[in-house]
Amino acid sequence: MTTSQSDTARTAQFEARGLECIRDDRMLFENLSFKVNPGEALVLEGRNGSGKTSLLRILCGIRLPESGDLCWDGVDIFKLGPEFREHIAYLGHKDGHKPDLTPLENLRIAQGLGKAKSGIILEEALDQVGLYGFEDVPTRNMSAGQQRRLAIARLLVTDAKLWILDEPFTSLDRKGIEQMERLFENHLEQGGMAAMTTHHRVGFRDDVKLVRINLSER
């Protein structure tokens, strides 16, 4: 496990201490600790079933760890509740939008549920993920890749600092993957953070600080 190079004395923005996860009587991981600071990305690797998705769900607070603490700015995330949730955006296996609504309507809801980013125009977010011109097409009529792009556009419309991404590149074409990687880099450059799993080799620029954790080799 490679730890972050950052100054360990300072409280990290997002920190996990001694996480443990048991699923169906199987220990997925134990004593897992890491720190993520602004501008850094946590990349989870490991075999299928090694607990990557479980860990991401624990990080955003949907799932409870068997033991261990998660802190945002030094405060336990369960104590913070909604105050923590306004800082995160989660992209799971499921895209999380309604097929009966248009992309624009879906984004408006995503924006209303989170802390809206000031000055962002929803059409602009769609344009950034390459969905310009699809504002009013029912989402169900879009391809799987386009739906994934819409899910990524959701990340852009709120003020979330920490993006938690579970296989964000599923069903994207090669050009789409590159495009999304630039978006993620941009987010990190502006002081954002990310925690992600991917089977795809992460093609970020060399100066992006990655915290890599391999769950199968622990």
Partner 1 sequence: MSTLSLTSAFTLLLKRDLTLAYRRRSEMVNPLLFFVLVTAMFPLGIGNDPKLIQAVGPGVVWVAALLAALLSLDAMFRADYEDGSLEQFMLSAHPVSILVLAKVLAHWMVTGLPLFIAAPLLAMMLNIPNEAIPTLMLTLVLGTPVLSLIGSVGVALTVGLRRGGVILSLLVLPLFVPVLIFATDAVNSAGAGMPTPAQFYILTAMLVGSLVLAPPATAASLRISLS
Site residues (vs partner 1, CB under 8 A): 57, 60-64, 82, 85-86, 88-90, 92-101, 105, 108-110, 112-116
Q: Which is nearer to partner 1, 83 or 189 (CB)?
A: 83
Least distance in Å: CB of 80 to partner 1?
11
Q: Which is nearer to partner 1, 38 or 138 (CB)?
A: 138
Q: Which is nearer to partner 1, 64 or 75 (CB)?
A: 64
- Say how many C-beta atoms besides its own lie within 10 A of residue 155's C-beta: 25
200 beta partners: none
Least distance in Å: CB of 216 to partner 1?
24
Q: Which is nearer to partner 1, 59 or 183 (CB)?
A: 59
Least distance in Å: CB of 145 to partner 1?
17
CB contact at 8 A, 59 and 16: yes
Least distance in Å: CB of 124 to partner 1?
20
**What is the sign, positive or negative, of the torsion defined by CA atoms of 89, 94, 98, 102?**
positive
